[in-house]
Amino acid sequence: MTQKEALAILKAGHNVLLTGPAGSGKTFLLNQFIKYLKEKNIVVAVTASTGIAATHLGGRTIHSWAGIGIHDYLSSREIHALTKRSYLKKQFDKTSVLIIDEVSMLHAHRLDMIDAVCQEFKNNELPFGGIQVVMSGDFFQLPPISSGQNEAEFVYKAKVWSEMDLRVCYLDEQHRQNDKKMTAILKSLRQDKVDDKTIKLLNSRLNQKAKTADRPVRLFTHNADVDAINDAELEKINAQEFTYRMSGEGENKLVESLKKNCLVPESLILKQGALVMFVKNKFIEEKVVYVNGTTGIVVGFDENNYPIVRLRSGEEIVALPDSWTIDDEHKVLAKIIQVPLRLAWAITVHKSQGMTLEAAEIDLSRSFGYGMGYVALSRLTSLDGLYLIGINEMAYKLDPQVFAYDKELLMLSQQEKGDIKSKAFKKQTSML
């Protein structure tokens, strides 16, 4: 389905699952829909399953918005007690549309809990109390985190899932990869058809050296590797340190949530020669200045001591402070301000989700979960930008139950697309 077709379904007021491969434009489409709703003065709650994902849309976590926090279970009495909180009551009274991004990382029991909370506040037994719900995510990417012995249940196993009359919009246009070889690799992973040709293509990138002076960002599966590399690389540089401290304003809990979940550090230490990554999108008059994942090297500092970053294209940009916010209708509830950079010799695969990278050194030799290889490789725009340090068998694997369910989602989206065309045809013939 195209973005245009999916947007028409969203505007029609249906409950929607927006899905599709990495780089198919799900976040872009959500932002278009959010803009449309605000122009129509329709109150939309913008949320995501994780704090990092929420910052991409200027929203908050679904747990915070629904008032459920970290609870795994709430009794009917506890849910009713939430209605006594005036700020939540005011929020639910106004909300007409609920967006939940990165829904693949949300547990099934939590979606049912959110449904129960919405019904209680809206005093309405329809799913989510009659609020239009738009969920976005790709189940082939990172799954819900399981705790203890209990295996996490994917969100589509929630009781409310089958009651929502969901319209599935499966985007299939590719806006990230412009390279046929990379597209073929990712397609083979999604279709569980990793053959000798795919492995040969990936192996051709093993132990390759970057052709540019700037070393590409390195992706690792474990936090300890990332922290050690970034600290060690910065320490090697014999140059003056410049420190940038984050500032915040608004409700304390929300400010702390932004700080915790934003990719930019509270205290950013830079030196001339540091490899850095922008962690925000910036557009001026619809022209892309940089995107979340653009890398470069600090080549100096301006008269206000802000870093000057030389991109791979050779262009130099002064990295001025930017803001991350949590919005409620037309009001900013919380804001943090920081230079939108982080050290980028290394990052985790987990934190790379949502990014677009022109080049990366990727170590998948210690992959330990389904979808980890797919998430890492799908960050790249081309195969030439891949510098593979190592890879294990687990990196090729996707969850078998997700693989089966994805086929069903694709079929449902094709049916929905057929219905759109049929309705459009009927409308045209009725006007003749």
The pLDDT tens digits for 353-371 are 777 788 899 999 999 988 8
Return the number of other C-beta atoms located less than 10 Å from residue 243's C-beta: 9
pLDDT at 324: 86
Distance in angstroms between the alpha carbons of the first and the last residue of the chain: 28
Instruction: Find, among 225, 63, 76, the residue nearest to 144 by Cα.
Output: 63
User: Structurally, how many domains does the chain consist of?
Assistant: 2
Chain position carrying tokens 């687990």: 394
Do residue 122 and residue 197 come from a single domain?
Answer: no
Note whether 415 and 333 are same-domain residues. no
How far is Cα 346 from Cα 232, in angstroms, rounded to an integer?
11
Q: Are residues 196 and 303 in the same domain?
A: yes
Among 7, 337, 375, 430, residue whose Cα is nearest residue 190: 375
Note whether 154 and 253 are same-domain residues: no
11 and 160 assigned to the same domain: yes
Structure confidence at residue 283 (pLDDT): 66
Same domain for 189 and 160: no
Q: How far is CA 315 from the centre of its chain?
A: 27
Residue range(s) defining the domain that contains residue 62:
3-175+401-430
| Structure-derived torsion over alpha carbons of residues 375, 376, 378, 379, reported in degrees to the nearest 10 | 120
Q: Does residue 202 contact residue 239 with C-beta atoms inside 8 Å?
A: no
Q: How far is residue 265's CA from residue 343's CA, in Å, rounded to a whole number? A: 9
Give yes or no: residues 150 and 229 share one domain. no
User: CATH number, domain at 131?
Assistant: 3.40.50.300
Q: Is the pTM of this model over 0.75?
A: no
From CA 215, how far away is CA 274, in angstroms rounded?
10
What is the per-residue pLDDT across 60-86, written as a single tens digit (0 to 9) for each? 788 888 988 767 788 999 999 999 988
Tokens 């198919």 — which residue?
24
Q: Is the domain of 247 the same as that of 361?
A: yes
70, 125: one domain: yes
The verdict on 109 and 233 lying in the same domain is no
DSSP 367-416: --STTHHHHHHTTBS-GGGEEEEEE-GGGG---HHHHHHHHHHHHHHHHH
pLDDT the model gives residue 425: 45
Average pLDDT for runs of 10 along the chain of length 432: 93 95 86 94 90 70 83 87 89 95 91 96 96 95 65 88 96 76 90 92 91 80 89 95 95 84 87 90 67 84 96 89 76 89 89 81 92 91 92 92 91 88 54 41
Q: Are residues 134 and 184 in the same domain?
A: no
Q: Are residues 223 and 315 in the same domain?
A: yes
